[in-house]
Structure 1
Amino acid sequence: MKFPCKTVAFGPVKTKMYHETDGTIRLRADEPLAPYPEKMTEKLRFWADRQPDTTFLARRNARGEWVHLSYGQALRQVQSLAQCLLNQGLTVDDTIVILSENSLEHALLALAAMYVGIPYAPVSPQYSLGSNGFERLTYCLQLMTPRLVFAQNGQLYEQALALAKSLLPDVIILTAEPTGNTNFEELLQTEPTAAVEEAYQRVGADTVAKILFTSGSTGVPKGVINTHGMWSANQQQILQAFPFLATQPQVLLDWLPWNHTFGGNYNFGLVLYNGGTLYIDDGKPTPLGIETTVQNLRDVSPTMYFNVPKGFEMLIPYFERDWALQTTFFSRLNLLFYAGASLSQPVWDRWEELTIEATGQIIPIVTGFGSTESSPLAIIANRTDSFAGLLGVPVAGLDLKLVPDSNKLEARYKAPNITPGYWRDEIATSSAYDEEGYYKTGDAVRFLDENDPDKGLIFDGRIAEDFKLSTGTWVNVGMLREKIIAVGSPLVQDAVMVGLNRDYVSAILFFNPDACRELAGLSDDVSTRDAFLAPAVTEFTVQLLKQVNQTARGSADRLEVAVVALEPPAADRGEITDKGSLNQRAILHNRPHLVGMLYPENGWLTAADAQNTVAVTTANALS
């Protein structure tokens, strides 16, 4: 039985394509980019005037109660904090660093800084709370040289704040909890003067709004400059891709961190630009954090829901066994949106089934593609016939240049939503653009149908991740990884490809412990190691390799050996980016013993020999 798809107003997907003699392909949306404000804070003033009592932001307090902040309240408090910043002598030549997680105070301080043109940088809390020292935090602080550093909880971030003070003795330390020498609530009562309005009027499209640090997956984090104009332009591009945003107030429940462009630019910006409401979710897709997310979803009925693939996968069991949760969640949902990594087709299919069970129709699942440097959206799959892996077409106003690189096409962008460069890093800035001024993404894409660009583009891996075997054959890491995840779902959560200058391709596999226990018929209290060593799981892994290899056309897409890591990827070791994807380079660097098992010098090591892995090989590997 074919079920109808929920009617959602999507923008056009018509594109123009041009071929050049050197193999370069240029794409551009047929629809032009409409006018947009020169700064996002214009939207705060607009909605504070139009709907002052509408909730802008909400977050649970320590007692578990939702605390609401209206647009009218937000504007008044932003102006008060802006006055405080000016009173401390901060100017457009200074910076502010925010160390902590999403919060009402975080949002107010960030908006206050932008209101008067002071650049700010939200830094990943992992850099302050991780177990491997403060190397990245030190790097970020030394690069930003902030006049003010904020953390939500002074006790939790005590060591990080002390580090900031030791590096920058004159820095102002500001916290919201617990109340210290400076009472954040009292700052919100400061009476703004004409100086605030004068500073606001000087802010333009080219004024730096914020610095967003990349995850550092290929080195130290880079500070991506985000101007007011590029953020505002991208929100207009999103609105043209999803016109329904302007016809219905959007309600979001979102955990995605504001130090990352998905949560901090896309989702926060979508709410602010369109006058919606954002409920801050203090959960996340971890064994403990997911419970908080589910509890919040019992209270909030979102109109759109955003998550990374891992988050969508972890939520499935809760929806399967809780009809009341289904009812609340799907009651007014128009769209499911994933980004940060590829969503496996089995997970996609199960979510479609859940939407049918709850509503009798299919709620569209879509994705977007871009980078921190593109604010972030550059390519959008705004269509009802989407599927896992489809990226879509360029957003309005963006010139997409596809440049041949070996056997791939690298995506390059030029548009109003593209960064002018990296903060205080002329070398990185100069190397980020080609001779025509296009930003070089390093991402490879390919056409779903080369004869019909309107059908969209598909991710084809990272140019830098691909490698050659000893035979000189190129391995397409992205495609092989997606294939392994699709075949291995729900056990396989992710995979890292190995084989640079080797004779064959192998993989490090990361499994879902709960799925392994279920397959092996084990109880929940069985350890992860025992679950991975269960005969049923080992046999599954053997069959996985066989299934992957059934459609292999040669050595480049044939998986000869695999190891299953007992230890999950560690965020504080740089193995997971803030958006939830794996840092392939960091995993290979941190786990040389796994690479040694894949390519042993003195014969094959069996699973019984391995202390930290389950290992399997195909019948003819290493023969």
Structure 2
Amino acid sequence: MLADFHPVHVVNHPVDVEQREDGSRVIRSIGELCDYPERITDRLDYWAEHTPDQLFVCQRPLSGADHNHWQTLSYAETRTQVRAIAQWLLDLRIDGEPLSQERPIIILSGNSSEHLLLALAAMYVGIPYAPISTAYSTISTDFGKLRHIVDVLTPGLVFVDNLGPYRDAIDAVLPGLPVVSVISEHSTDNLQGQLTAFESLQSTAATSAVDQANQTVTASSIAKFLFTSGSTGMPKGVINTQKMLCSNQAMLASVLAFVQQQPPVVVDWLPWNHTFGGNHNVGLVLFNGGSLYIDQGKPVPKAMPITLDNLRDISPTVYFNVPKGFELLAQALKENPDVAANFYRNLNVMYFAGAGLAQHVWDSLDALAIQYTGKKVPMLTGLGSTETGPAALFASIEECASGVVGVPAPGTEIKLVPNGGKLEARIRGLSITPGYWRDADKTAKAYDEEGFYCLGDALKFIDEKQPNRGFYFDGRVSEDFKLDTGTWVSVGTLRPFVIHHCAPYVQDLVVAGRDRGYISVLVFPDLAQLHKLTELPADASASELVSHPRTREVFERLLGEMAASSTGSSTRVQRLVIEARPPQLDAHEITDKGSINQNAVLTNRADIVEKLYAAEPEAGIICL
């Protein structure tokens, strides 16, 4: 099987299984971790000394007309600027007090070189920072989640790349705090806090105080706070220590061994307020002396041309994305052969996370790789969370498929506990968070009596007799439910099946049926695909697309096909409704990264659920 793939050094570490009398099992990796430093910024110092001219971070200009070139920083240049900014941070006083974990830095804007420089400077001298989802400041209408985060953090400094889009949020939630901005496309009149241009930080002269502060940073020092996406309520501040960041990169390097042999080149859009983009991907580049090209695109149709321009310029060695991103990329590469040729030229591995990758997308990427390289490029995935660093489990090249999460990485062990007919996964290891900032109750509830973090996911063996093959993801323990017959419905299994079968028309869905006689689903459609299907004008409303006869015809057919292949009431969807109104961020129905909150949708749309189970369904309900 491996002969079909582009050769790349990825290590599949074996595991040991401990069977316990209570029915639980503990699975440990028996692989060895490479050495790792006490501070993640030690790697910046290392590369600045050993490969000073190697490009570290590159971005298109944030403003101005010239977007055809890359602004670049080498490791030596980055280190110089980081030390200058660190000095400015050490000098700052808020009500006479310095920045600290009690008064950290809050970053409201997205990915940029300046964001990264400030983050590295803060970590260099032991000042925690918190990158926050831009949606909480620019899309939210009530700033509810941002207010909650500010109450938890009590920040001492605000950073934005451009004051303009964030001025309303700053005025409403963060008045009076000093603000650092790269550019200010907005009036600064009546700004209650002091505004400082980012270039002032860069021009500060570093002193020995920077070195002294750096030496006080230890493995247990807080590097950053990452706020969970709030899918089950208000976001929780996950403490990220230096040890978490460093040991997790050692885990990555022990599996993705090729990054130690060839410095990775990464073109990446994934937001840094999430652990995948901010810890996993940025850390991979820094830890291994690679180059990061910041992609200001995004996996939505309007922003894909930006990503394509970047991939036309830069050939990555490893490429990360979410399933929706890979879906749009696959189609775009078919339509842009020049981009496809460059994309695959140096590519060793692709990696997805966040959800299952539809098989038709996977097949398209394999076909493209064969067309341009003669072999498949390995697609990898795994399992982790904000609380685990994030990388915890990795799938091998041989076993990787949608739904497979692999085996524990070196330095990690999982405990599988019987729970409602499933095996609930709990994780313990070097890169697990010590808890949630200023929330002792949630911290206490997050761990079991042995200190395993309770992930909330269920796993099942691919083959119990061959544990080295790894595990399948078996859904969220809290989302599964019983029908009124007592039959269990596995939401984590059913949901991706329905999405896959209804591709490409379904963007996401929620499964209903708790204590009911049958399963129904609320479908959130891909409106761009419905436009193609119905051939309605571009300005057609979502309601017009959803109610169009062609849309109904297709979903009636798909519902019948799924029913014909179902194995019983636990897998048969009998009714569905196509929702014209997308899931709402402020109502906690969706996170800023696009994850659906099943319970919030069912609660907020209880009237729709009742219509799905009415004896005489309305015209908008599609039935078997």
Q: Same fold (TM over 0.5)?
A: yes
Q: In structure 1, what residue type is equivalent to 2:156?
A: R
Instruction: Tell me the residue number matched to 1:606.
Output: 619
Q: 2:611 aligns with which of 597, 605, 617?
A: 597
Contact kept, 8 Å, 2:315 with 2:345, in 1: the verdict is yes
Instruction: Tell me the residue number matched to 2:165.
Output: 156
Instruction: Tell me the residue number matched to 2:83.
Output: 79
Displacement of 1:115 = 0.6
Instruction: Tell me the residue number matched to 1:175.
Output: 181
Displacement of 1:391 = 0.8
Please state if 1:254 is matched with 2:258.
no
Q: In structure 1, what residue type is equivalent to 2:215?
A: Q
Q: In structure 1, what residue type is equivalent to 2:207?
A: T
Instruction: Tell me the residue number matched to 1:235.
Output: 249
User: Matched residues in 1 for 2:593 and 2:313: separation?
Assistant: 25
Please state if 1:514 is matched with 2:525.
no
Instruction: Tell me the residue number matched to 1:51.
Output: 51
Contact kept, 8 Å, 2:102 with 2:154, in 1: the verdict is no
Please state if 1:139 is matched with 2:143.
no
Contact kept, 8 Å, 1:48 with 1:72, in 2: the verdict is yes
**Structure 1: 5+ residue runs without aligned partners?**
608-614, 619-623
Q: In structure 2, what residue type is equivalent to 1:50?
A: H
Displacement of 1:540 = 2.2
Contact kept, 8 Å, 2:2 with 2:398, in 1: the verdict is no
Q: In structure 2, what residue type is equivalent to 1:41?
A: T
Instruction: Tell me the residue number matched to 2:414.
Output: 400
User: Which residues of 2 match residues 396-545 of structure 1 at below 5 A?
Assistant: 396-520=410-534, 527-545=541-559
Task: From the superposition, tell whether residues 253 and 2 of structure 1 become closer, same or farther in structure 2 (CA, over 3 Å).
Answer: closer
Displacement of 1:570 = 4.0
User: Matched residues in 2 for 1:517 and 1:164: separation?
Assistant: 39
User: Matched residues in 2 for 1:115 and 1:247: separation?
Assistant: 26
Q: Deviations over 1:460-514 (max 9, x none)?
A: 1111111222233221001001211221222223221111222211101122233
TM-score (norm 1): 0.94
Q: In structure 2, what residue type is equivalent to 1:452?
A: Q
Displacement of 1:590 = 3.5
Contact kept, 8 Å, 2:136 with 2:143, in 1: the verdict is yes
Q: Deviations over 1:97-134 (max 9, x none)?
A: 11111111111111111111111111111111124211
Displacement of 1:554 = 2.5
Q: Deviations over 1:7-64 (max 9, x none)?
A: 0101133111121122101111121323211110110101111111111111111231
Partner of 1:379: helix, strand, or coil?
Answer: strand
Instruction: Tell me the residue number matched to 2:34.
Output: 34
User: Matched residues in 1 for 2:330 and 2:596: separation?
Assistant: 21
Q: In structure 2, what residue type is equivalent to 1:435?
A: E
Q: In structure 2, what residue type is equivalent to 1:322?
A: N
User: Matched residues in 2 for 1:34 and 1:70: separation?
Assistant: 25
User: Which residues of 2 match residues 83-98 of structure 1 at below 5 A?
Assistant: 83-88=87-92, 89-98=98-107
Instruction: Tell me the residue number matched to 1:610.
Output: none
Contact kept, 8 Å, 1:241 with 1:382, in 2: the verdict is no
Q: In structure 2, what residue type is equivalent to 1:319?
A: L
Partner of 2:577: helix, strand, or coil?
Answer: strand
User: Matched residues in 2 for 1:447 and 1:355: separation?
Assistant: 30
Displacement of 1:522 = 5.8
Instruction: Tell me the residue number matched to 2:13.
Output: 13
Tell me which moved more, 87-96 or 410-419: 87-96
User: Matched residues in 2 for 1:388 and 1:358: separation?
Assistant: 23
Q: Deviations over 1:418-470 (max 9, x none)?
A: 00000000001111100001000101111111211111111111111112222
Q: In structure 1, what residue type is equivalent to 2:616?
A: G
User: Matched residues in 1 for 2:399 and 2:369: separation?
Assistant: 15
User: Matched residues in 2 for 1:178 and 1:132: separation?
Assistant: 22
Partner of 1:157: helix, strand, or coil?
Answer: helix
Contact kept, 8 Å, 2:245 with 2:279, in 1: the verdict is yes
Displacement of 1:191 = 1.1
Contact kept, 8 Å, 2:142 with 2:586, in 1: the verdict is no
User: Matched residues in 2 for 1:526 and 1:134: separation?
Assistant: 30
TM-score (norm 2): 0.94
Q: Deviations over 1:199-258 (max 9, x none)?
A: 101101100000000011111100000000011100000000110001112111111110
Q: In structure 2, what residue type is equivalent to 1:177?
A: I
User: How many equivalent residue pairs?
Assistant: 607
Contact kept, 8 Å, 1:514 with 1:524, in 2: the verdict is no
Structure 1 runs, 4 residues or longer, greater than 6 Å off: none
Displacement of 1:521 = 5.8
User: Which residues of 2 match residues 59-138 of structure 1 at below 5 A?
Assistant: 59-61=59-61, 62=63, 63-64=66-67, 65-88=69-92, 89-138=98-147
Q: In structure 1, what residue type is equivalent to 2:34?
A: A
Contact kept, 8 Å, 1:255 with 1:284, in 2: the verdict is yes
User: Matched residues in 1 for 2:357 and 2:274: separation?
Assistant: 19
The root-mean-square deviation of aligned C-alpha atoms, in Å, is 1.9
Partner of 2:468: helix, strand, or coil?
Answer: helix
Displacement of 1:520 = 4.8
Partner of 2:313: helix, strand, or coil?
Answer: coil
Instruction: Tell me the residue number matched to 2:95.
Output: none
Instruction: Tell me the residue number matched to 1:621.
Output: none
User: Matched residues in 2 for 1:525 and 1:297: separation?
Assistant: 31
Task: From the superposition, tell whether residues 91 and 399 of structure 1 become closer, same or farther in structure 2 (CA, over 3 Å).
Answer: same
Contact kept, 8 Å, 1:3 with 1:360, in 2: the verdict is no
Q: Percent identity?
A: 44
Displacement of 1:527 = 5.0
Displacement of 1:358 = 1.8
Contact kept, 8 Å, 2:462 with 2:469, in 1: the verdict is yes
Tell me which moved more, 109-118 or 546-555: 546-555
Q: In structure 2, what residue type is equivalent to 1:24?
A: S
Q: In structure 1, what residue type is equivalent to 2:143?
A: F
Displacement of 1:92 = 4.8
Contact kept, 8 Å, 2:427 with 2:452, in 1: the verdict is yes
Tell me which moved more, 414-423 or 577-586: 577-586
Q: Deviations over 1:581-614 (max 9, x none)?
A: 22222322343343232123x621112xxxxxxx
Q: In structure 1, what residue type is equivalent to 2:29?
A: A
